[in-house]
Amino acid sequence: KAGVTQTPRYLIKTRGQQVTLSCSPISGHRSVSWYQQTPGQGLQFLFEYFSETQRNKGNFPGRFSGRQFSNSRSEMNVSTLELGDSALYLCASSPGQGGSSGNTIYFGEGSWLTVV
């Protein structure tokens, strides 16, 4: 069974540009969430999508957005990139909403974004 797949793995962008990252969840999983990891702030929750609807959102500016498609694949977009957006962006998938149904949350290998 394939794991969570994220593309691209590495990318370099210039300040002011925008970037789109893609995530394919584990087959059958309907919940996709995104996290940002930086040395200074650690792992921070960006947002979660379930059945194409954003269910939770972290404390990030509006430049960070995402969406989920009918096949559960998800994309996140960062517009007007800043140097501080350089980070590892991790996508996670889970069978359903919440942990009460015994869901485990699985992560992909991440997308390493460098903003210059």
Binding mask of the shown chain, residues 30 to 69, with x at each position contacting other proteins by CB under 8 A: -x-x-x------xxxx--x-x----xx-x-----------
88 burial level (CB within 10 Å; 0-12, 13-18, 19+): middle
Q: Is 11 in the site for other proteins (CB under 8 A)?
A: no
Contacting residue, 78, 110, 113, 115, with other proteins by CB under 8 A: 110
Distance CA 13, CA 35 (A): 19
Binding mask of the shown chain, residues 64 to 103, with x at each position contacting other proteins by CB under 8 A: ------------------------x-x-x-x--xxxx--x
- What stretch of H or E contains 10? strand 10-13
Q: Which residue has the tokens 């959102």?
A: 57
Minimum CB distance to other proteins smaller for 81 or for 90? 90
Give the end-to-end CA distance of the chain in Å, rounded to a whole number: 37
Q: What is residue 83's DSSP assignment?
A: G
Q: Please, what's the largest Cα pairwise distance for the chain?
A: 43
CB 21 to other proteins: min, Å: 13
Interface residues with other proteins (CB under 8 A) are: 31, 33, 35, 42-45, 48, 50, 55-56, 58, 88, 90, 92, 94, 97-100, 103-110, 112
